Structure 1
């Protein structure tokens, strides 16, 4: 109504003097007056239209404020494969460096305690090593079906021969079943104290095997996992898979244990032997910032599941299995969370082989088989921001061989400082 009433009022105001003036004014003056009134009316109409536009914009802004629209977030978008599976990408970029005062002579910087030179040597001392081979890339998949979700994982790093790409995990899951390669059911890393070393230290294991696995939950606190695994033992011809069993129990929110068993056949062209092992692991939260981890193994006749052991068995010239290695190992460590950014771990690992003369005497070079191994380490990790982790670790260890080297020493040492920088994505 504004742009109707205002022009009419103004027109009346200007019309009154015009009527009075009309009797004496010339026609030219009247025409000029009409043009000025017309121009004034157009200005009034334009002003009214602008005011209405401003009012409409203000009304729209008030309505938008009363009914806000949700923001679009990239992380909320579901990523799908050509086959319709949802997937997520994860991994890390990791750089490792190590200064080795004494230790193994191989180019790779990770744990080599079982083969360090006896008595030390020049080629194993004062070495700086670095690598990015532990950089990791993984994909998790999930497909919803009428019979339930089917899941899968593919994870790789560059720790293959000569830093080539290798498969860490590649498996599918359906209900209680798992088929593919992942952590061994007998030797999982769950109970190893934290280390910077990508292979861990004596007493623990990071074995991954191709397997078929079945899980059964007895209760929310207890479950049983059974698996048939390919142990990937190059010293034995595989005819039957290794059978493993793991019973997990959560005693409370602070204490969890795992009891494990393994049985497998060792085979040569002429003979067979049964190897077996037992394992027991525990995690105990002493407080909300302090955790204790421990893992124990007793194994006879196998060297494929637990790292840094002597060969599982020895043969004679006819490929008959004449003796087997028996060993016990344990690792224990305490992790402390000092603050949201700082944490640290102190750990110790030990492995001891039985002194079986038939086994020991079967080796021409007894300096290459170990009577015992031990390592102690301490580390600290700092995370300035969530995806970044920086770590520093010191480790010292020794191996004692069953025979002395030419220099008279039966002991080899590892003395090393390691550092890591990792970006998780």
Structure 2
């Protein structure tokens, strides 16, 4: 005899960064199953209209790199690639979570602007958590997701933000988290695919009604053409309440953090030597009223061996039409000093942008 489950559908609001990193209120739908199990669906639909003016090649969002051109260009585009979907299944002490978005074109190809504008699915997260142990692909333990900026441009100043998802085994005990994570040496003069020792990461988060501050450290074995070297880095990040609903978010990352920070702004190894870097990000979010808010942000990264100096500034305004639907506009600038163009004719790139966003949280 097959037992039929009775579903009790209800809507819940989740105060977590699992479902989205840029909304004021994140919602999801939960199906209550038999025996206390539950199935949760979440995500959001986001549409961006973006205009760029400068000598950095057009892109959907700014990250830590980009192609510097020999002359300025103007570009306008409309895209929905940031749209994402996730689902979580809870069975007692066991939780399974999977999340995808539509930024898969860079790896496996997709449509084009001539006909379909198709985009392929991309796996963001897939993990299993049993009590205090998490295994699978998730945000790196090194980063503090609550410090990510609310922005129209995807995640704001990624150039100075700890921002990686990767395979790991993580242990959590209160504010303490320890993990071993997937190793990879990124840069010039390194040995590709020869990483045999996992990255070791520890983080402690101090939290309260005032917000939270985390302190992170990582130790890695980096591959060079002459052997291996130990890389050590640290990060301090947080989100602290100020006045009313306002908050300040910040990150300071330094040492041999390499690929963990800046989304290609920093390499682990340059010509066989381990790179040092310093990254600073700060953002202040102000609520004009219950539904209208603004964030002003800055992020910058400098490196010693590759002599990179990259930064992004921006300011935005978001209005919630309903609890789940918001619209916003953002203006800003992305700068890549000490960067030669593809042809080697110019040094340095800079582009201004204005971006309009509409977001519906599921």
Indicate the TM-score class for this superposition, using the shorter chain for normalisation.
0.7 to 0.9
Change (3 A) 1:302 1:174: same
Report how far residue 284 of structure 1 moved: 1.7
Instruction: Tell me if 1:208 matches 2:139.
Output: no
Superposed displacement of residue 383, structure 1: 0.9
- Number of corresponding residues: 320
Alpha-carbon contact 2:186-2:267 (below 8 Å) kept: no
Look up the match of 1:75.
10
- Higher strand residue share: 2
Task: Indicate how the Cα distance of structure 1 residues 268 and 254 shifts in structure 2: closer, same or farther if over 3 A, else same.
Answer: same
Q: Distance in 1 between matches of 2:241 and 2:211?
A: 6
Pair 211,305 (structure 1): closer, same or farther in 2 beyond 3 Å = farther
Distance 1:283 1:90 in 2: 24
**Distance in 2 (alpha carbons) for counterparts of 1:306 and 1:405:** 21
Q: 1:393: which partner in 2? A: 330
Query: Where does residue 98 of structure 1 map in the other structure?
Result: 50
Mapped partners of 1:419, 1:232: distance in 2: 36
Match of 2:347 in 1: 410
- 1:157-188 residue CA offsets vs partner (Å, 9 max, x unmatched): 11112331111111111111111111111123
Displacement of 1:407: 7.9
Q: Determine which structure has the larger helix proportion and give its number.
A: 1
Please say which of residues 109-118 and 371-380 is displaced more in the overlay. 109-118
Bigger RCO (CA 8 Å, 6+ sep): 2
Q: What is the CA-CA distance between 1:308 and the residue it aligns to? A: 3.5
Q: Which residue of 2 aligns with 1:372?
A: 309
Match of 2:243 among 256, 265, 287: 287
SS across alignment from 1:339: coil
Decide which moves more: 196-205 or 335-344: 196-205
Change (3 A) 1:115 1:370: farther
Query: What is the distance in 2 between the residues matched to 1:305 and 1:397?
Result: 17
* CA distances 1:7-29 after superposition (whole Å, capped 9, x unpaired): xxxxxxxxxxxxxxxxxxxxxxx
Q: Does 1:158 align with 2:106?
A: no
Report whether the alignment pairs 1:185 with 2:134. no
Name the structure 2 match of 1:110.
61
Provide the residue aligned with 1:133 in structure 2.
81
Contact 1:95 1:130 in 2 (8 A): yes
Q: 1:10-409 maps to which residues of 2 (within 5 A)?
A: 74-75=9-10, 78-80=31-33, 85-106=37-58, 108-112=59-63, 114-117=65-68, 121-122=71-72, 125-144=73-92, 149-161=93-105, 162=109, 163-201=119-157, 202-217=159-174, 223-233=175-185, 236=192, 237-250=194-207, 252-267=208-223, 271-300=227-256, 302-315=258-271, 321=272, 323-354=273-304, 356=305, 369-401=306-338, 409=346
Q: Runs in 1 of length 4+ with deviation above 3 angstroms?
A: 76-81, 231-236, 402-409
The alpha-carbon deviation at position 85 of structure 1 amounts to 4.3
Give 1:105 deviation, angstroms: 1.9
Pick closer, same or farther for the CA change 1:113–1:209 going to 2, 3 Å. closer
State the structure with more CA Rg.
1
- Within 1, Cα distance between the matches of 2:277 and 2:54? 26
In structure 2, the CA distance between the partners of 1:287 and 1:264, relative to structure 1 (3 Å rule), is same
TM-score, normalised by the number of residues in structure 1: 0.69
1:419 is matched with which residue: 352, 356, 359?
Answer: 356
1:227 counterpart SS class: strand
Rate the CA distance shift 1:75–1:408 in 2: closer, same or farther, 3 A: closer
- State the distance in 2 between where 1:196 and 1:256 align: 24
- 1:15-61 Cα distance to aligned partner (Å, 9 max, x none): xxxxxxxxxxxxxxxxxxxxxxxxxxxxxxxxxxxxxxxxxxxxxxx
Given that 2:65 and 2:263 are in contact with CA atoms closer than 8 Å, whether structure 1 keeps it comes out as: no
- Taking the aligned partners of 2:37 and 2:185, their CA distance within structure 1 comes to 35
Equivalent pair of 2:250/2:280 in contact (CA under 8 Å): yes
- The normalised TM-score by structure 2 is 0.80
- Give a deviation string over 1:241-264, Cα, whole Å, max 9, x none: 1110101112x4214210000111
Structure 2: any 5+ residue segments left out of the alignment? 1-6, 12-29, 110-118
Structure 1 unaligned regions, length at least 5: 1-71, 218-222, 316-320, 357-368
Q: Distance in 2 between matches of 1:415 and 1:90?
A: 33
